[in-house]
Amino acid sequence: MKCGLLGRKLGHSYSPQIHGMLGDYSYTLFEKEPEQLASFLKDGDFACINVTIPYKKDVIPYLDELSPAARKIGSVNTIVRRADGTLYGHNSDYFGFVSLVRHSGIVVDEKKVLVLGSGGTSNMVVTALKDLGAIPVVISRSGENNYDNLHLHADASVIVNATPVGMYPNTGVSPIDLNRFPKLEGVLDVIYNPAKTKLLLDAEALGIPHENGLWMLVAQAKEASEYFTEKKLPDSCIGKIHHILSCQMKNIVLIGMPGCGKSTVGSLLAEKLGRSFVDADDEIIQMAGKSIPEIFAQDGEEVFRKWETEVLDNCGKQSGLVIATGGGCVTRMHNYPALHQNGNIVWLKRCLSLLPTEGRPLSQTSCLEEMYTVRKPMYEAFADIRVENTGSPEQTADEILSQLEGLS
């Protein structure tokens, strides 16, 4: 059975991997321009497909029948070609979002919920929230309730982001300031890349329960697969696939004093996991066209830190990397959200007497004990886990993997 995903610009999609774990069928990415839509739906070589932006509404005129959920929401993300050749449209995003709400533990019943955005995803979210007993209010750019009169909704209990604001590659921006909502009890974001958008990072900093859209992505695929195969799947498969994807997508970021072994251990971790390894210092050297001692001598530390931040911004928004940072990256707080948004941060610790100083400008000109005293609270603030690099690199890498497994 030939299945797949229909969209305009699909880029890297996790859907083939998810469906590969859900059922025994092929899953292809179908990138089509608007003028190709009609002929593809009529004569395309597929048995069942998922539909993503911008075609969730555009496909409806070509379908012969809609499920109650699809009619209610007014958009379709699952199409099944029936035995007689007719096309049946369904919306499994509804199931995915309801599953996300329940998984998050955030209570929406009888709560005022702000839904950011007024597109197709927003329509689905509003429908699901009403069915869950919530009181949704749509916030749009120009509607009755908009971003200029958010003060009218300071009593909101939950916020759901149904816009693409903050999505990869345009990370680090948020549609709203959460400090304006003192009664906030939960934040949901349908975006899953990065794992923590600026909106979710802000919620985390304020201690507000939050969840990204990865669970929703897997849950909607599970229900779509059931429509494809006409076979019921256990809900437990959602959690299993979510765990696998979450671990694969997270970067492993190594921080620590210069010379503590980040590059050696990082390259070994990448080899063990079949991941790409990025050494931030090497990236800076390539960008500058000169060695790090030359950068410090000719341009100064501030220029080096500026380039370092640019490199970490770029690396941190990507997925599935092992990243070795420079020892002083923690001295710029801006680097924390860049690395934390998609990564687990590992503080690699080593006895100061064992740290080499050759080729390390600050280590050669500063007292290591004084440097460590200043940086220690910064490492602690950045780190998700702490690992002593006292044994072999292999032992240290294995200890990191063991502790990371405990995080998930």
What are the Cα distances from residue 284, in Å, to 56, 296, 308, 326, 347?
Answer: 43, 12, 6, 10, 21
Q: Are residues 97 and 125 in contact, defined by beta-carbon separation less than 8 angstroms?
A: yes
Active site residue 272: no
What are the Cα distances from residue 126, in Å, to 47, 121, 376?
Answer: 30, 9, 46
Q: Which two tokens stand for residue 156?
A: 């909101």
First vs last Cα of the chain: how many Å apart? 34
The gap from C-alpha 218 to its chain's centroid, in whole angstroms, comes to 13
Q: Which residue has the tokens 């001295």?
A: 331
Amino acid letter, residue 301: E
Q: Which of 2, 42, 56, 376 is catalytic?
A: 56
Output the CA torsion sign for 22, 27, 33, 37.
negative
* d(C-alpha 292, C-alpha 364), whole Å: 13
Say whether 275 sits in a helix, a strand or coil.
coil
Report, in angstroms and rounded to the nearest whole number, the Rg of the chain calculated over CA atoms.
24
Q: Which two tokens stand for residue 388?
A: 């002593």
Q: Are residues 76 and 63 in contact, defined by beta-carbon separation less than 8 angstroms?
A: yes
Catalytic residues: 56
